[in-house]
Amino acid sequence: MVSRETDLSILSEDFAADPYRYFARLREHTPVHYEASIDSYFLSRYQDVKRVLSDHEAFSTETLQVRAEPVMRGPVLAQMTGAEHTAKRKIVVRGFTGQALADQTRAIRANAAELIAPFLRRGRVDLVNDFGKPFAVHVTLDVLGLDRKDWKRIAAWHSGVAEFITSMALTPERRRHCLDCAEQLEAYLAPIIDQRRCRPGEDLISALCAAEFDGIALSNRDVTALLINVLVAAAEPADKTLALLFRHLIDHPGQLARVRRDPALLPAAIAETLRYTPPVQLIPRQAEKDAVFTGTAVPAGATVFCMIGAANRDPDAFAAPDVFDIDRPDLGSARSFTAAAQHLAFGTGLHQCIGAAFARAEIETVAAMLLPLLDDLRYSPGFRYRETGLYTRGPASLSLDFTPTKEIARR
């Protein structure tokens, strides 16, 4: 049955307040939920989501031409297919894996140490707004080769670009604001790209400028689009994952104590966080031909949203899916950051996230560094937890109190 019910709207305030309350109902009763106001279909079962993301012929990324291209200022990786996709994806992947990743881990540690320092003696930090957001942007700027002193401007433009991509409906005023942000970001990048063409460095901008596809160097438009693509893709989910990891560990003190004693458990805790509360909740595709899911028809040309949060909680894929359990045998922490991942937080198939290994290094390095510095970790008095976002989702803030370690108190 296609859901044309009026009692549940994925665009309602109730759903936005806590989508997890509705996932079982959607999977069981209306696994193909139709949202008339945006003429789109929402799939919530693990097998259906996996099928859409794996079958690139039947489900294309055509919708990104409207959803992403205007603010990316050109075509992004997720829109490409075939030889062009393979070649350009390889260039970007090289910037985030192997030796590059080893070098970046040092920069990740330095960024984290600098950003947490002012909060250590105070015994209180908002892990999202004081630390996570600036951290995610700083680290991404380092990899791209952009100046960290510009981070506030870049973060503001970045959030306009992200708002455009992740909104279900934008007012004309917000749309104009988002496009302004994208234009300013493009204007900021243009002279930097020109400069790296003349004097290349070790960063991703230089690598993109030096790269060729079919014997032709990438144009400034291509380089700009890939840079904005990586900036948004890397910065948007990182602070959310870090905050969600800390939230789940604080809510499960036994598991927190074990992770503190044995940081080798961190990859399993991060993988379970990504399964349990994936920061990217929706992935859009376009049906290229008529399709049928559990007896329900979806017409050619329709926009289909894969509901990653609902799929990752499907009891057909994971036992006791609503339980946060870093020991779960059906996840596998090592493969959780590879193409063989069982959870769908990084997508799957041709367009699966290229930053999975980098994201793991980022979160693991920071958590391993912060946990020993923050004793007796707890929510600040009066703090009320609230998540926001339908497309990408994470805590609006995470105010934590802790006892500064004796070593910090002595400093």
Residues that bind ligand HEM (CB under 6 A): 77-78, 89, 92, 96, 229-230, 233-234, 237-238, 241, 279-280, 283, 345-347, 351, 353-355, 358-359
CB of 160 to ligand HEM, least distance (A): 19
Nearer to ligand HEM among residue 359 and residue 398 (C-beta) = 359
Q: Is 37 exposed, middle or buried (0-12, 13-18, 19+ CB in 10 A)?
A: exposed
Nearer to ligand HEM among residue 202 and residue 407 (C-beta) = 202
CB of 153 to ligand HEM, least distance (A): 20
CB of 316 to ligand HEM, least distance (A): 20
Nearer to ligand HEM among residue 52 and residue 193 (C-beta) = 52
Nearer to ligand HEM among residue 120 and residue 162 (C-beta) = 162
Query: Both ends of the chain: CA-CA distance in Å?
Result: 64
Q: Which residue is nearest to ligand HEM (CB)?
A: 355
Distance of alpha carbon 128 from alpha carbon 239, whole angstroms: 6
Distance of alpha carbon 181 from alpha carbon 188, whole angstroms: 11
Nearer to ligand HEM among residue 27 and residue 351 (C-beta) = 351
Among the listed residues 9, 45, 68, 4, the one whose alpha carbon sits nearest the alpha carbon of residue 309: 45
CB of 295 to ligand HEM, least distance (A): 26
CB of 269 to ligand HEM, least distance (A): 13
Helix, strand, coil fractions of the chain, as percent rounded to 5: 55, 15, 30
Nearer to ligand HEM among residue 120 and residue 280 (C-beta) = 280
The one-letter amino acid code at 392 reads T
Two tokens at 84?
């062009």
Q: With b meaning 16 or more CB within 10 Å and e meaning fewer, what string describes 276-313?
A: bbbbbbbbbbbbbeebebeebebeeebbbbbbbbbbbb
What Rg, from alpha-carbon coordinates, does the chain have?
21
Nearer to ligand HEM among residue 89 and residue 260 (C-beta) = 89
CB of 159 to ligand HEM, least distance (A): 17
CB of 176 to ligand HEM, least distance (A): 26
CB of 155 to ligand HEM, least distance (A): 16
Nearer to ligand HEM among residue 193 and residue 238 (C-beta) = 238
